[in-house]
Copies of this chain bind each other. A is one copy, B any other.
Amino acid sequence: MDTRERLIESAQALLWERGYVGMSPKAIQDRASAGQGSMYHHFENKAALASTAIARSAEQLYASARKEFTQPCSALDRIVAYLNRERDALRGCRVGRLTQDPEIIADPQLRQPVQEMFAKLTQELASLIVEGQKAGEFSAEMNPEDTASTILAVLQGAYVLARAANSTEPYDRAIAGAISLLKHQGGVKRASRK
């Protein structure tokens, strides 16, 4: 693997572990086994390298979610599979994590890939919910975009709870609770409709 590539992957890992503020050029170089001059040859500065690394992480995460969303099973099952996908709860989300960084939020270049990834995931989930509504899996009263946001929020928040507790238990509980709510929703309306 060439140096430029190693620098990007090194930055991706450090952004995940320590965020933009906590990631020093020295640390990037050490992890990539690259010298000072090497890094500044390939990237103008820390922000430029971070921008490349963030965009790549967002694309990778979106691509792996797409796989879950396009499985050949019911919409509800695909959403449940997405929620149940193996994740390293204690490490957190490598893209969601970046939203806590003031310098990333303040810089449109750094924030844009993050914004785009969540916007696209929301749209995919909302489409799945519409599909599920047509199939009778979800109540027609359900707002697809609201519910899509709720699903993403549960995932992101579950990471927070896991890290606070230093345990995966609250993560697993939050996911289980969300799945239960999704599976048992709308019944009142459906039941009353006869």
Knowing A105-B166, A160-B153, the reply to whether A188 touches B180 (Cβ < 8 A) is no
Q: With A and B bound together, what is the CA distance between A105 and B160 in angstroms?
A: 11
Instruction: Indicate if A156 sits at the interface (CB-CB under 8 A).
Output: yes
Contact A150 B181 (CB under 8 A): yes
What residues of chain B lie closer than 8 Å to A100, measured between beta carbons?
Answer: 19, 92, 97, 100, 160, 163
* Size of interface on A: residues with Cβ below 8 Å to B: 63
Q: With A and B bound together, what is the CA distance between A169 and B118 in angstroms?
A: 13
Instruction: Indicate if A18 sits at the interface (CB-CB under 8 A).
Output: yes
Instruction: Indicate if A135 sits at the interface (CB-CB under 8 A).
Output: no
Chain A contact residues: helix, strand, loop or mixed? helix
Instruction: Indicate if A13 sits at the interface (CB-CB under 8 A).
Output: no
What residues of chain B lie closer than 8 Å to A19, measured between beta carbons?
Answer: 19, 21-22, 100-101
Which candidate, A1-9, A34-42, A68-76, A141-149, is the interface stretch facing chain B?
A141-149
A107-156: which residues lie under 8 A (CB-CB) from chain B? Answer: 111, 114-115, 117-119, 122, 139, 141-143, 145-156
- Measured CB to CB, the nearest residue on chain B to A105 is B163
Binding site for B on A (CB under 8 A): 17-19, 21-22, 92, 96-97, 99-102, 105, 111, 114-115, 117-119, 122, 139, 141-143, 145-161, 163-166, 170, 173-178, 180-182, 184-191
Could you name 17 residue pairs across A and B whose Cβ atoms are closer than 8 Å? Answer: A22-B101, A96-B157, A97-B100, A99-B160, A105-B166, A115-B165, A118-B164, A122-B170, A143-B176, A148-B177, A149-B173, A150-B154, A153-B157, A153-B174, A184-B187, A184-B189, A187-B191
